Amino acid sequence: MRQFLTAVAIAVIGTTTLWYATDGIRAVTTEGARRVQIADSPPAVSSARLLDNTGETINLVAPAGGVALVEFIYTTCPTVCVSAGILFSQLRDRLTEEGLDSRARLFSVSFDPERDGPQALAAYADIHGIDGRIWKVGVLRNADLPRILSEFGITVIDDNFGGYEHNAAVHVVDSNRRLIGIHDIDEIPGVIAAVRGLK
Amino acid sequence: MSVLPAGKILSGQAALATFLIFACAVLRTPLEADPVTHMLLQLPLLAWAGWFLADAISPVWPDAGLSRLNDNGIPGLLIVLFAIAFWMLPRSIDGALTSIPIEIAKFITVPLLIGLPLRWSWYRVPPLLRGVLKSNAISMLGVLAWLYSAAPVRVCNSYLVEDQKRLSIAFLGAAIGLAILWSARLFLPPVDTTTGKPTKPVRRKRFA
């Protein structure tokens, strides 16, 4: 009996621990945990300035009453950023078709200030047809880099081939600078719904 | 209160356990740079350190295994299984790499909640249950191998997709290795259920 009660007590403690460790079986990965945390209480993100493809400084902000849709890239990225760029252009087209383009700004934000100067960004803008109107591309300044990556929950690691590997997603920031959603880059309907759902 | 003789505590097994934990701590950076050595070398070595620690404590404190609470080994085994489940979560592994408190928790809980209670429980649980756990460990490694090679997402933010693929192959290797090891064990003499030492062959009585 004593052993049985000990076993039950351990099972209760163990289950509780695992429950908390997975946010109630909602997240087993760090990326999942970040999305759960954002759904529960949207964290604030601080302001950041970007150097864009024309050499001008722009603010990473949402239009009043709208959202900024932010993805993180580096222009020398051969794989995921290319598809991210293509999907972002599809997202821009959908937003325009649905008449939601006044409510959203798209930002492709490079985290590689060493290599992504205005020239590299201009080449990236050309490839993806970034007009700077509703979709802007810019690079973070070294001073803002660690803070912004940490606030958005982006982990950038070396891929051993001179590039980086990083978690790629569409980050939804509202005009009060709160990070209110994170969507997979290929999940366009979810992003559209998030933009439409704004009051 | 009795004073424990220092010579007994500092047994070979205690030294080995300490050495393993220190080695894992000193070689943290290279071991954790690669998920294969992190999960299939550092974590098992830490658990092993806990196992040796249990061996070192047992002679000094004979009822360290808490036979009243853990006579059938089930409570101890539950601690082990929950601790393993926790450290199998990708976010725990990511956490150990990015947060010092979680890394310290790993160095404490893997020896003390996996290796140590396993040593004090494994030979007490029924042989059938041990067999079930072994076969489960093999199939779990197989499932993880498949999952990590087929997963469309990167499971750990701190490791590359390429690393994840290698890890899946390593898990498959570990599954095959354990299957061979544990099958081979069946051809060796049986093991005493309390000590883990091979039993002396029992001579069958013949009636003349």
Tens digits of residue pLDDT in B33-46: 999 999 999 999 99
Residues of B in contact with A15 (CB under 8 A): 82
pLDDT of residue B195: 63
Which residue among B69, B70, B86 sits closest to A18, beta carbon to beta carbon? B86
Residue of B nearest to A158 (CA): B160
% residues pLDDT > 70 (chain B)? 86
Question: How close does chain B come to A56, measured CA to CA in Å?
Answer: 32
**Which of B109, B153, B154, B164 to mutate to probe the A interface, most A CBs <10 Å?**
B154
Name the residue type at position A47: S
Angle at A63 between CA A187 and CA A37, to 5 degrees: 50
- Minimum mean pLDDT range among A92-96, B75-79, B178-182: A92-96
Contact B156/A29, CB-based, under 8 Å?
yes
Name the residue type at position B4: L
Question: For residue B73, which phi and psi values (nearest 5 degrees)?
Answer: 80, -5
Q: Does domain A43-196 have CATH number 1.10.287.3510?
A: no
Residue of A nearest to B81 (CA): A14
Choose between A163 and B30: higher pLDDT.
B30
DSSP letter at A167?
Answer: -
pLDDT of residue A55: 86
Contact B157/A31, CB-based, under 8 Å?
yes
Name the residue type at position B180: I
Cα–Cα distance, B49 to B92 (Å, whole number): 20
Give the three-state DSSP class for A24. coil
Contact A22/B89, CB-based, under 8 Å?
yes
Question: How close does chain A come to B125, measured CA to CA in Å?
Answer: 13
Domain extents for chain A?
Answer: 2-39, 43-196
% residues pLDDT > 70 (chain A)? 98
Question: For residue A61, which phi and psi values (nearest 5 degrees)?
Answer: -140, 155
Contact B91/A21, CB-based, under 8 Å?
yes
- By CB atoms closer than 10 A (0-12, 13-18, 19+), residue A2 is exposed
**Which of B82, B148, B162 to mutate to probe the A interface, most A CBs <10 Å?**
B82
* Stretch (H or E) spanning A194: helix A188-196
Model confidence at B150, pLDDT cuts 50, 70, 90, reads confident
Residues of A in contact with B155 (CB under 8 A): 29
Chains A & B: contacts with CB separation below 8 Å: 76
Give the three-state DSSP class for A48. coil
Model confidence at B8, pLDDT cuts 50, 70, 90, reads low
Cα–Cα distance, B28 to A118 (Å, whole number): 40
Model confidence at A108, pLDDT cuts 50, 70, 90, reads very high
Give the three-state DSSP class for A74. coil
Cα torsion angle, B18, B20, B21, B25, sign:
positive
* Most confident listed range (A160-164, A191-195, B87-91): B87-91
pLDDT at B208 over 80: no
B90 contact A CB<8A: yes
Cα–Cα distance, A168 to A190 (Å, whole number): 16
pLDDT of residue B1: 41
pLDDT at A141 over 70: yes
**How high is the mean pLDDT of chain A?**
88
pLDDT at A158 over 70: yes
Question: For residue B201, which phi and psi values (nearest 5 degrees)?
Answer: -60, 130
**Which of A1, A2, A3 to mutate to probe the B interface, most B CBs <10 Å?**
A3
Residue in B45, B110, B107, B101 with CA at minimum distance from that of residue B82: B110
A108 close to A120: Cβ distance less than 8 angstroms = no
**Which of A1, A25, A29 to mutate to probe the B interface, most B CBs <10 Å?**
A29
Tokens found for residue B55 = 């061996």
Q: How much is the pTM?
A: 0.81
Choose between A24 and B198: higher pLDDT.
A24
* Stretch (H or E) spanning A164: strand A164-166
Contact B71/A3, CB-based, under 8 Å?
yes
pLDDT at A82 over 80: no
Residue in A36, A39, A38, A57 with CA at minimum distance from that of residue A48: A57
% residues pLDDT > 90 (chain B)? 62
Cα–Cα distance, A31 to B90 (Å, whole number): 10
Cα–Cα distance, A178 to A182 (Å, whole number): 12
% residues pLDDT > 90 (chain A)? 29
Cα–Cα distance, A90 to A108 (Å, whole number): 14
Can you tell me which residue has the tokens 């197989």?
Answer: B142
Contact B94/A29, CB-based, under 8 Å?
yes
Q: What is the mean pLDDT of residues B60-64?
A: 77
What are the b/e assignments for A148-157, b being 16+ CB within 10 Å?
bbebbbbbbe
Question: How close does chain A come to B104, measured CA to CA in Å?
Answer: 16
Q: How would you write B7-28 as a 3-class SS string?
A: HHHCCHHHHHHHHHHHHHHHCH
pLDDT at B7 over 60: no
Model confidence at B82, pLDDT cuts 50, 70, 90, reads very high
Tokens found for residue A31 = 């990326």
Can you tell me which residue has the tokens 């003390």?
Answer: B112
β-bridge pairing A49-52 and A135-140: antiparallel
Residues of A in contact with B75 (CB under 8 A): 3, 6-7, 10
